[in-house]
Amino acid sequence: MVFIVSITGAIYCFAPELQQLTQPYRSVEAKRDRFLPASTLIAIAEKQIPDKKAKRLYYGQPNKAAYALFFEKGGYYHTVFMNPYDGTVLKTKNMRKDFYNIILYLHFTLLIPYGQEIVGWSTLIFFIMIISGIILWWPRNKAATKARFQIKLKASPKRLNYDLHNVLGFYSSWVLIFTVFTGLIWAFDGFANTIYKLTGEKHSIIQQKLPVSDTSQKNMLTPQKAIDKVWYQVENEMRSTYKAVELILPQTDSAAILLRANPSEKTFYKTDYRYFDQYTGREFDNAYGWGKYSDVTTLSDRIRRMNYDIHIGAVMGYPGRIAAFLAALIAASLPITGLLIWLGKRKRK
């Protein structure tokens, strides 16, 4: 299990770059023209899948395709990629067959029933093993210290395997502790709560009840005009402030339109979460859900926002992602080298 989760995690560290390289329909020729409004792109996408309704719409940088997401319970998941300038459909794709999507779901569900629970508990066991591994690694005296940091490449295969497990395991553990702990935050609510306990801070913006749309204003604007009103409020900021914008469409009469606007292409923790009335297009004034990044005032909320970026190393830029990638590869090797050590000890007995 550790091998599967680690290998898929290593691949996903660089998924955005790999997707751009291997999936040309994600890119368009950059222009200075305005993007088409949200309602137009949604209508174009829904013509490609007539019996379904789009759930989300994504705008990226001038050289990136816009895309609409269609998904439902039962596993249905399609994406329509479009040129944001003229609405040309670049690709309609069943995301259940997408390589990177399969890698992602394999990473946290193993693609089997109850896979998410299996991954969660296995990750907890692995976290305990990392801590115990550091304790076992710790040299008992100064004479043993040097051997703990070096791999003897000219040693016997058995000794080389031991060093690979022991030394590489130690170096990678300082990255894996953060990677694994952030994974546990998704798996178990209790781990998320420990952040607040460690900092001594209370839950804040993240815990606020979400706003609701004013159903008495149902006839104020059509759904198309309301979503475009939201888009026009953020359109200029796409050129100056935001690198990517995602519109999450309401699925109930009282739900609000959620706009997730990210000022960075490399990380997610600075994303602004802005809510709008689905009938009037009016933005709600107070901070809801995760709120805007400028609303975050506590260290614990800041850390919670960084969870994904810490998990893949993006919070430290490319060096952090490379470190997470290498640590994941080493983690994948640990069950193999550990098994060989265990088998060697059994033979001696």
Does a structural domain hold residue 230? yes
Contact (CB, 8 A) for 56 and 68:
yes
Cα–Cα dist 76/91, whole Å: 17
Does a structural domain hold residue 75? yes
Does a structural domain hold residue 158? yes
Location of structure tokens 């606007």 = 261
| Phi, psi of 71, deg, nearest 5 | -150, 150
Query: What's the pLDDT band for 148 if we cut at 50, 70, 90?
Result: confident
Cα–Cα dist 54/67, whole Å: 10
Query: What's the pLDDT band for 179 if we cut at 50, 70, 90?
Result: very high
Determine the Cα angle at 344 with ends 339 and 345, to 5°: 100
Does a structural domain hold residue 8? yes
Ordered DSSP codes for 251-282: -SSSPPEEEEEES-SS-STT-EEEEE-TTT-P
Please indicate, yes or no, whether residues 186 and 316 belong to a single structural domain of this protein.
yes
Residue 8 domain boundaries: 2-105
Does a structural domain hold residue 238? yes
Please indicate, yes or no, whether residues 318 and 224 belong to a single structural domain of this protein.
no
Q: How many CA atoms lie within 13 A of 244 on its CB side?
A: 19
Please indicate, yes or no, whether residues 131 and 72 belong to a single structural domain of this protein.
no
Return the pLDDT at 120. Answer: 96
Partnered with residue 132 across adjacent β-strands are none
Please indicate, yes or no, whether residues 71 and 34 belong to a single structural domain of this protein.
yes
Cα–Cα dist 78/53, whole Å: 11
Q: Report CA-CA distances (Å) from 36 to 43, 156, 254, 339.
A: 11, 65, 27, 57
Contact (CB, 8 A) for 209 and 288:
yes
Please indicate, yes or no, whether residues 22 and 167 belong to a single structural domain of this protein.
no
Count structural domains, the chain: 3
Does a structural domain hold residue 130? yes
Sheet-wide strand order for 272-276: 89-94, 77-82, 66-71, 56-59, 244-248, 257-262, 272-276
Q: What is the mean pLDDT of the chain?
A: 91
pLDDT in tens, 72-91: 887 889 999 999 999 999 99
Return the pLDDT at 206. Answer: 65
Does a structural domain hold residue 240? yes
Contact (CB, 8 A) for 109 and 100:
no
Please indicate, yes or no, whether residues 174 and 211 belong to a single structural domain of this protein.
no
| Domain end marker among 105, 122, 139 | 105
Return the pLDDT at 192. Answer: 81
| Domain end marker among 52, 71, 105 | 105
Three state DSSP letters for 215-248: HHHCCCCCHHHHHHHHHHHHHHHHHHCCCEEEEE
Please indicate, yes or no, whether residues 322 and 340 belong to a single structural domain of this protein.
yes
Does a structural domain hold residue 342? yes
Residue 193 predicted with pLDDT over 90? no
Average pLDDT score over residue span 126-140 = 91
pLDDT in tens, 263-313: 999 999 999 999 999 999 999 987 777 889 988 888 888 888 999 999 999
| Domain end marker among 60, 89, 105 | 105
